[in-house]
Structure 1
Amino acid sequence: MGTTGQSITLANSIIGVGILAMPFCFQQCGILLATLILISMGLVSRLCCYFLLKSAIITRRRNYEFLAFHIFGPAGKMAVEMGIIGFLMGTCIAYFVVVGDLGPQIIAKMFNINQSDILRTSIMVIVSLVCVLPLGLLRNVDSLSNVSAATIAFYFCLVIKVIVEATGQLFTADFTSRIELWKPSGVLQCVPIFSMALFCQTQLFEIFESLPSLSLEKMCVVTKNAINICSGVYFTLGVFGYIAFGSQEISGM
């Protein structure tokens, strides 16, 4: 399978709740400017990954904690550990907010029941015990490749759905007047969203350790493929989401 499994796993770890904000970002910056920012953030992310991997290979410290200890000592190691803990907690909160907001609506509609706080809490607990906990206890990320492939396929289905929604807007008379190509006023607001949407450094060393041979060149290919997949999904969803919902008020979705 080469590096395909690792690329898909890394791509799955990159795509997160930021995907929901892509139409908003393209609306705020304009299609051309948002595309340039997305490409730039992808290149910056790849460059950061390259420097991290290069330094890890040179120092023979293949995780953040020991790499920080090697360079900055105990204080640096502690700072990096606290930063990773904060990042992971923030990621969990973001995902549970999405699950807590969307889950009850989906379940209530499927089973024709009323939404309630008990339903919301129950869904979050079930997702935690059935999905999050077993996946979090896995020691080998290679076993996640099939799950990651299914998740990426779901994202592509979402992209197709948004494209279908946008198709009707493409043939309206005022289509071009509602779409902006260049809007610098939204850059400061959207650059952090784009940068975090392509952020993969936290998972980098875990994927690196799963390679059959620890090769910088192979890992760079994995990183490039993963970021390209995510950038393609973000671009398509951002452009067609903006076209589909551009006449409405998009507020971070």
Structure 2
Amino acid sequence: MELQKISNGHHDLSPEKITMESEFDTLENMTEPGDTFLTSESNGTINTPFTDFVGKTSFGMSIFNLSNAIMGSGILGLAYAMANTGIILFVTLLITIALLSAYSIHLLLKSAGVVGIRAYEQLGYRAFGHPGKVLAACIITMHNIGAMSSYLFIVKIELPHIIQSFMEKPDDNEWYANGKYLIIIVSVCVILPLAFMKRLGYLGYTSGFSLSCMVFFLISVIYKKFVTDCSEEHSYNDTMLNQTMFDQTISNSTSDICEAKLVTINPQTAFTIPIMAFAFVCHPEVLPIYTELKKPTKQRMQNVANISILAMFVMYLLTAIFGYLTFYESTNSELLEMYSKTDTLMLCVRLAVLMAVTLTVPVVLFPIRRAVLQLLFPDEPFHWMRHISIAVCLLFVVNLLVIFVPNIRDIFGFIGATSAPSLIFILPGLFYIRIIPEEQQPLKSPPKIKVIAFVTLGFIFMIMSISFIILEWVTGRKTMGGH
């Protein structure tokens, strides 16, 4: 029987005999032969609700895709986070968050291995029934739409300036100076063709190029540290503005201004913690990448996650340190804004960053489409028209948000404050508690107590983040009212 072949670890089934997501069934971690997730038709074929191919993505390409999913526009704000936490506190927080993220992925993979399911939404279904499936799908959709919108918002703001810098006589009235037109062009010409691809693994090449662009950004930040004088007048003026915001005295000397702080606590410190806490959010992409991994095992996918997190940790740390040591207390919340717009090198860096975030959008879109398919068409085989239509609709919605919402920071800040802790801490922990059987690990056993503490930490992060956003909104409204 085909089911017996799978349980013996044979992977020679033809794609025609495998309907959606049959490669899940080849996973040796399926510990329960009678798992109801596997259903056998009378004609002997296995009918499972996921994908129609066996994973073929290499280990290296999987690392590129997951690293690209981790790497987001948030890297531009990490130097600002260090400026408001200090070097020691920043490094401590970054290490802690990286370790927690790796542990969270371990919980996801452990839960997936026990039941033989590699879909976030299906794990939700196995743990809490249909409400769990709907909740997981909605959170993934909400979070990733927010991420896609933030990337395209950067394109909307930065690309007109970059194009105009190459013009001898730029005209603000021309179409290329309007970011609304440009994001439509970028979406249609670059993002949509990549989003039409059937498998996420194919995006490993574009993910590798995207990461190369961010490495170029990092090298440029390091180089600029050694050729930028902190005591230059523009840096001094920026520092005076920053000090006014923090109610500091304006009489500080330049030597104080250009001095690195090991630990810093100020009113902005609380707002930088969520930036760092969500720097490693990649969990919606973990299981889809696991789906397409060649020779999939829990340990192999965990190695993909560990290497990706380590690589991004190094890039985050170096970017934050050298960005902070260039501008010190004057560091802006978006690092690129600190550099001269007439600098040729930084102009190329801006273009590289735009290319990087643009090529990240298709990777982020895949989990949303999978969530929609799991909710609306859970038992349907792959269909190109459905595949393409969902991608077009998602990009249409994201473009509308970016075009017509003047400031999406608060909207997606709130989305991030609720969805990111859910994806990193709460859902993986709850899935683990519900899916790992009581006979194997009682609720009061040390592993599950640790997971309960992990989930509790997620709720604390969520409450803190929402509170900071509401506090900032109320404070901002009062300030506007005062003026």
TM range (shorter): over 0.9
Which residue matches 1:136? 195
Which residue matches 2:220? 161
Which residue matches 1:50? 106
Q: Verify the 8 A CA contact 1:169 1:175 in the aligned structure 2.
A: no
Q: Distance in 1 between matches of 2:287 and 2:334?
A: 31
Q: Verify the 8 A CA contact 2:63 2:307 in the aligned structure 1.
A: yes
Q: Distance in 1 between matches of 2:292 and 2:255?
A: 51
Displacement after TM superposition at 1:139 (Å): 2.1
Which residue matches 2:131? 75
Q: Verify the 8 A CA contact 1:104 1:115 in the aligned structure 2.
A: no
Q: Verify the 8 A CA contact 2:78 2:319 in the aligned structure 1.
A: yes
The one-letter code matched in structure 1 to 2:82 is F
Q: Distance in 1 between matches of 2:230 and 2:150?
A: 36
* Residue 210 (structure 2) aligned to one of 144, 148, 151: 151
CA separation of 1:77 and 1:116: change in aligned 2, threshold 3 A: farther
- Three-state SS of the structure 2 residue aligned to 1:213 is coil
Which residue matches 2:259? 178
CA RMSD of aligned residues (A): 2.2
Q: Verify the 8 A CA contact 2:156 2:182 in the aligned structure 1.
A: yes
Of 217-226 and 104-113, deviating more is: 104-113
* Residue 291 (structure 2) aligned to one of 194, 206, 209: 209
Which residue matches 2:316? 234
- Three-state SS of the structure 1 residue aligned to 2:320 is helix
Q: Distance in 2 between matches of 1:75 and 1:221?
A: 32
Q: Verify the 8 A CA contact 2:257 2:329 in the aligned structure 1.
A: no
Q: Distance in 1 between matches of 2:154 and 2:211?
A: 18
- Three-state SS of the structure 2 residue aligned to 1:179 is coil
The gaps in structure 2 that reach 5 residues or longer are: 1-56, 232-253, 336-483
Compute the TM-score of the two structures, normalised by the length of structure 2. 0.50
Which residue matches 2:66? 10
Seq. identity, % = 24
CA separation of 1:170 and 1:176: change in aligned 2, threshold 3 A: farther
Aligned length: 253
CA separation of 1:2 and 1:131: change in aligned 2, threshold 3 A: closer
Which has the larger helix fraction? 1
- Three-state SS of the structure 2 residue aligned to 1:246 is helix
Describe the superposition over 1:186-245 as per-residue Cα deviations: whole angstroms up to 9, x where unpaired.
553222111211111010011101111220111111001101111111111101001112
Compute the TM-score of the two structures, normalised by the length of structure 1. 0.92
The gaps in structure 1 that reach 5 residues or longer are: none
Structure with larger Rg: 2
Q: Distance in 2 between matches of 1:203 and 1:252?
A: 26
Q: Verify the 8 A CA contact 2:59 2:294 in the aligned structure 1.
A: no
The one-letter code matched in structure 2 to 1:212 is K
Which residue matches 1:97? 153
